[in-house]
Amino acid sequence: MFTQTESIDGKAVFTVWQLNQAARSRLEETFQLVWVKGELSNVALPRSGHIYFTLKDEHAQVRCAMFKGSNKHLSFTPQDGKAVLIRAQVSIYEERGDYQLIVTQMEEWGQGVLQKAFEALKAKLQAEGLFEQSHKKALPPYPKHIGIVTSHTGAAIQDILSVLKRRYPIVPVTIYHTQVQGKVATKEIVQAIALANKHNKADVLIIARGGGSLEDLWCFNEESVARSIYASAIPTITGIGHEVDFTIADFVADCRAPTPSAAAQMITPDAGELVALFESKKQRLILAMKRKLQHTAQKLDTLEKGLVHPGMIIKQAFQKCDYLQKQLILLMMGSLDKAKNKLSVLSARLHAISPLATLSRGYAIVTTTQGDVVQDVDHLKPQQQLITQVNKGKFICTVQEII
């Protein structure tokens, strides 16, 4: 049954080639042609005409090869996610020791199980509003701290760090390590997102992994991961798989990038452009400062020209005081002259009606010794003394007779 083996110290020893041959023979004898159903993944259609793919279900997967002679009668084009029923020979690819199926016949089996689950969850979450644009948070234009949820051993983290180093080397980065494939990955991704929010250091969160089949990316299609992303207070951007790959996480996230490196590029400004922008702002600031200084210098010159020495101000004040004093004297003299003239006029008028003026015309004023003016002779008595005032002086007289 087996190829001849070498005997060493009484032990039958196989070469790797012999072992793979023996295993292949045993498989082919045990499993003749079998019918297997599953979902296509990693479909490759090389120019040779052969078809290479992975057949999988929710629990396992197996590599398959369908050679050109067998696939020429296919009624459809094999695609990832399509459910099929195949007739195949169980075998081993001896050079690599890979267990595989050699497919002789393939039929469509309806929508793939994973694809069906994907569409069902997508419809459910969309109906709940988890994909609504109104719920999505804006990414910071200049992030101060970047968090990355991915495997620290994968190619994705290297691509992201390379882009960040080239475009925005000043930003600090925290890596929240998690598995990104398999059943345990779902729980770890949820925990990593929660931890990033608890730390509250990052102002943007990249959720990423490299390319893979629908099954490889399935942890990003789990409901718990989708709800964790939706609940994140930190804005999120996904960079999962290749450009053609879409996951539920992509629909829930605040932003979706086609690849991990594209996610890093989308959330960071280019350092060269920033330097150029800062240089432009610097030159504009220098020019504005120069103009301000020139304007201030001109204003200072104007003020300096208008500045008068305090001694000159005092001298001008004295001159003004002298002028005002002279004006005041002139005004006072003018007022006095007017008053004198007015007094003269009034005095003349008063003199015209004064009893003294009457006396100058030869009249006299006769009063008693008590000073009462004699106006009626009936009030006089013989031998009564009276005072007579004439224009120039007074004299006393005695009443001799009243006639």
Spell out the domain ranges in the chain: 6-111, 116-269, 356-398
Average pLDDT value for residue range 335-358:
82
Cα dihedral 190/193/198/204 (nearest 10): -170
Give the list of residues 6+ apart from residue 64 with CB closer than 8 angstroms, or none: 52, 53, 54, 55, 86, 88, 100, 101, 102, 103
Average pLDDT value for residue range 212-230:
91
| Percent of the chain whose pLDDT exceeds 90 | 48
Q: Which CATH superfamily is domain 116-269 in?
A: Succinyl-CoA synthetase domains (3.40.50.261)
Query: Strand 146-150 relative to strand 173-177: parallel, antiparallel, unpaired?
Result: parallel
Of 110-114, 208-212, 356-360, least confident by mean pLDDT is: 110-114
Q: How far apart, in whole angstroms, are the C-alpha atoms of residue 277 and residue 37? A: 59
| Percent of the chain whose pLDDT exceeds 70 | 95
Nearest to 64 by CA among 47, 76, 78, 75: 78
pLDDT band at residue 237 under the 50/70/90 scheme: very high
pLDDT tens digits, one per residue of 129-183: 999 999 999 999 999 999 999 999 989 999 999 999 999 999 999 999 999 998 8
Amino acid identity, position 374:
V
Q: How far apart, in whole angstroms, are the C-alpha atoms of residue 383 and residue 397? A: 9
Token representation of residue 61: 């997967």
Residue 174 near residue 201, CB atoms below 8 Å: yes
Distance of CA 102 to the CA centre of its chain: 59
Q: How far apart, in whole angstroms, are the C-alpha atoms of residue 80 and residue 66? A: 15
- Beta-sheet strands, E only, within 25-179: 33-44, 51-56, 61-66, 82-93, 98-111, 146-150, 173-177
Same topology, domains 6-111 and 116-269? Answer is no
DSSP 8-state class, residue 378: G
Task: Round the average pLDDT of the chain to a whole number and report it.
Answer: 88
**DSSP letter string over 301-330?**
HHHHHT---HHHHHHHHHHHHHHHHHHHHH
Amino acid identity, position 168:
Y
Q: How far apart, in whole angstroms, are the C-alpha atoms of residue 117 and residue 368? A: 150
pLDDT tens digits, one per residue of 268-319: 998 788 888 888 899 999 999 999 999 998 888 888 877 777 888 888 888 9
Q: How far apart, in whole angstroms, are the C-alpha atoms of residue 108 and residue 225? A: 31
Of 77-81, 212-216, 247-251, 358-362, least confident by mean pLDDT is: 358-362
**DSSP letter string over 266-289?**
HTS--HHHHHHHHHHHHHHHHHHH
Q: How far apart, in whole angstroms, are the C-alpha atoms of residue 236 and residue 79? A: 31
Tell me the whole-structure pTM to 2 decimals. 0.52
DSSP 8-state class, residue 171: S
What sign does the CA torsion over 79, 153, 204, 160 have?
Answer: negative
Partners of 52 in the β-ladder: 44, 65
Q: How far apart, in whole angstroms, are the C-alpha atoms of residue 232 and residue 198? A: 10
The yes or no reply on domain 6-111 and CATH 2.40.50.140 is yes
Residue 368 near residue 338, CB atoms below 8 Å: no
